[in-house]
Structure 1
């Protein structure tokens, strides 16, 4: 059974390792394995920053003390954009289908509802149908499409969908 909790400074090493592993397991994310590498010190900085920010949330999923996935909501300090966050999630392929992504997303939406966040956005490649379906079940809608946005290993270009969810009514 997995557990969802806030990221802690002591998670930094595992987060660096798992992010590198996940990047190599799928083409669903923006990076190939090793690109835009974040080391342990980098993750410590991100976790410290997120803990001090009212507009950021960093969650981890763990099984038996081992991190198997994580999600992050990243807010914005600019007043015109302070009502929204960008959501991202990554889970080890071996743990897909265990509802970890659903739980990370549900907890992130709940946090947004309680922290004056009016809009959550994310990007997802068109080939990631499971993720698109999951986001749709949680009320996310496709707001836009970046045509031929990603080039995958097959040499073809694929679209990226921008999806969002308004967590509260416009005021």
Structure 2
């Protein structure tokens, strides 16, 4: 699905949130690799589950064509600095929901980019009749958890000892959902 681009000005920077297009694929491949190395909040370590340009081209093509998928990018001065995806499930019993994921370069944390990617995704989902958005978040990512709660997400479950991080300790994954009646 494609949305209209939105402009934002936060803490002194201008950025755009828009639908991903195929020419973004190479930059998205490099971006995801960099972000995976900057934080342990995501599922992958740097280089794991690597998606090359062709992989991102296919994702963008699929997400553009499918009515319950949305791939957004955040752009600062022609540079993609973050992205989010909503992926629908195309089985009838799950057709009311999408799964949301987001990542932003660390140097651009604090500019509301993740918040605005989430807000645009929620607006899109509500506008097309999606009833539920789900996501997973690492238990130590307090800022993200609070953000999700402000947008109406509730904790629906905990996957105990779900991830092992660089410190050798196990951490829980929190499953959250937002239901729009």
Structure-1-length-normalised TM-score:
0.97
Is 1:43–2:56 an aligned residue pair? yes
Which whole-Å CA distance do the structure 2 matches of 1:96 and 1:7 have between them?
20
Determine the structure 2 residue equivalent to 1:164: 177
Determine the structure 2 residue equivalent to 1:99: 112
Runs ≥4 residues deviating over 6 A: none
Q: Secondary structure at the match of 2:84?
A: strand
Structure 2 residue corresponding to 1:117, chosen from 130, 134, 137:
130
The alpha-carbon deviation at position 166 of structure 1 amounts to 0.6
The alpha-carbon deviation at position 116 of structure 1 amounts to 1.5
1:26-45 deviation per Cα after TM superposition (whole angstroms, max 9, x unaligned): 00000000000000000000
Is 1:7–2:23 an aligned residue pair? no
Q: How does 1:21-100 map to 2 (within 5 A)?
A: 21-100=34-113
- For the aligned residues, what is the CA RMSD? 0.4
The alpha-carbon deviation at position 15 of structure 1 amounts to 0.3
Structure-2-length-normalised TM-score:
0.92
Structure 1: gaps (5+ residues): none
Question: Size of the alignment, in residue pairs?
Answer: 168
Structure 2: gaps (5+ residues): 1-13
1:33-78 deviation per Cα after TM superposition (whole angstroms, max 9, x unaligned): 0000000000000000001100000000000110000000000110
Determine the structure 2 residue equivalent to 1:144: 157
